[in-house]
């Protein structure tokens, strides 16, 4: 597999495009909005600049990586010569099913169709295609260029050959692939999201404050980031969506989203992406923090 198509130029999509391109693959990055493509490419260039400053790559490596990426506004054009397509669109079932129907129609017959979904059934996604044995999950972690793990999710019909090929390809990206089966939340989010949800419940019930909850988990459990801060980083809307998938999939009340999480998402408090979640990331807050650095 030489030619890679990535659908979606957002946080995950541009990160996936970055690691494939840096590993020498030719990448077509597809999005419906030119502004998203421009922002995605700017993010990749910025990440490469940071790697260059730390002497992790050379100027030639940066140039080659950027030259390996071509942007497209059309799935038909971007995927027509793909050997592998990695879908990294919004975590919405209807949208993903629509994209995979389209990919099945336009991608070459040999192409493997992968989804970066963090919770949606690969079997369900594969069911709208005529090649379910060639549909698989590649769940990268954020930030993609830094995080080693890739969850490789086998759908009910995913073939051994495709699974082996994607496992080996992930290693070519300097990642560590872990094979899991197709059940709600897979492994990463089946374990992570209930922890985050319980942290939100602890706040909701007044057991402790935001910073106190995060401090306990960082200092007591050696987590690099507290669960509420991590939820902000992931996106509270994404956390809610994954919990809803878990709750719907298992019909177990332990996965029911905390009412506080539901209310925050409804109010538009989605974490870092919206400027406010459990913490304040607004420009005014940033200016306040900056000012404090100069006050002795």
Residues 38-50: pLDDT tens digits? Answer: 999 999 999 999 9
Q: Which sequence positions are flagged as catalytic?
A: 118, 139, 151, 189
- Is residue 8 a known part of a binding site? yes
- Is residue 91 a known part of a binding site? yes
Is residue 208 in some structural domain? yes
- CA distances (Å), origin 6, targets 2, 268, 294: 13, 28, 44
The residue range of the domain holding 229 is 189-287
Say whether both 16 and 158 belong to one domain. yes
User: Which of 130, 161, 181 is the last residue in one of the domains?
Assistant: 181
- Is residue 70 a known part of a binding site? no
- Is residue 148 a known part of a binding site? no
Phi and psi at 211, nearest 5°, equal -65, -35
Angle at 246 between CA 242 and CA 249, to 5 degrees: 135
CATH number, position 255: 1.10.1040.10
Is residue 214 in some structural domain? yes
- Cα separation of 23 and 226, whole Å? 32
Give all strands of the β-sheet with 149-154 in edge-to-edge order.
69-72, 26-30, 3-7, 84-87, 112-115, 135-140, 149-154, 176-181
Say whether both 268 and 235 belong to one domain. yes
- Cα separation of 192 and 215, whole Å? 17
pTM over 0.85: yes
Segments in the chain below pLDDT 70: 284-296
Q: What digits encode the pLDDT tens for the residues 48-107?
A: 999 999 999 999 999 999 999 999 999 999 999 999 999 999 989 999 999 999 999 999
C-alpha dihedral sign at 261, 264, 267, 269: negative
Is residue 292 in some structural domain? no
């Amino acid at each position: 597999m030489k030619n890679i198509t990535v659908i979606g130029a957002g946080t995950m999509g541009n990160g996936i495009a970055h690691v494939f391109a840096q590993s020498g693959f030719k990448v077509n990055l597809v999005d419906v909005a030119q502004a998203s493509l421009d922002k995605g490419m700017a993010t990749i260039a910025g990440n490469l600049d940071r790697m260059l400053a730390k002497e992790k790559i050379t100027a030639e490596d940066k140039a080659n990586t950027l030259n390996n990426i071509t942007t497209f506004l059309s799935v038909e054009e971007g995927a027509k010569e793909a050997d592998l397509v990695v879908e990294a669109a919004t975590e919405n079932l209807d949208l993903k099913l629509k994209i995979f129907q389209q990919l099945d129609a336009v991608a070459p017959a040999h192409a493997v169709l992968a989804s970066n979904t963090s919770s949606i059934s690969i079997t369900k996604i594969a069911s709208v295609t005529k090649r379910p044995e060639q549909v698989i999950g590649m769940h990268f972690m954020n930030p993609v260029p830094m995080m080693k793990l890739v969850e490789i999710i086998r759908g009910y019909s995913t073939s051994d050959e495709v699974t082996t090929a994607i496992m080996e390809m992930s290693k070519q990206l300097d990642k560590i692939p872990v094979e899991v089966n197709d059940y709600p939340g897979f492994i990463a989010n089946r374990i992570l999201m209930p922890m985050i949800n319980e942290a939100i419940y602890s706040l909701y019930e007044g057991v402790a404050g935001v910073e106190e909850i995060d401090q306990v988990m960082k200092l007591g459990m050696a987590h690099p980031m507290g669960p509420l801060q991590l939820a902000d980083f992931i996106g509270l809307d994404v956390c809610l969506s994954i919990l809803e998938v878990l709750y719907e999939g298992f019909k177990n009340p332990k996965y029911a989203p905390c009412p506080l999480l539901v209310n925050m998402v409804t109010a538009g408090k989605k974490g870092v992406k919206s400027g406010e979640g459990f913490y304040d990331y607004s420009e005014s807050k940033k200016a306040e923090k900056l000012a404090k650095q100069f006050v002795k």
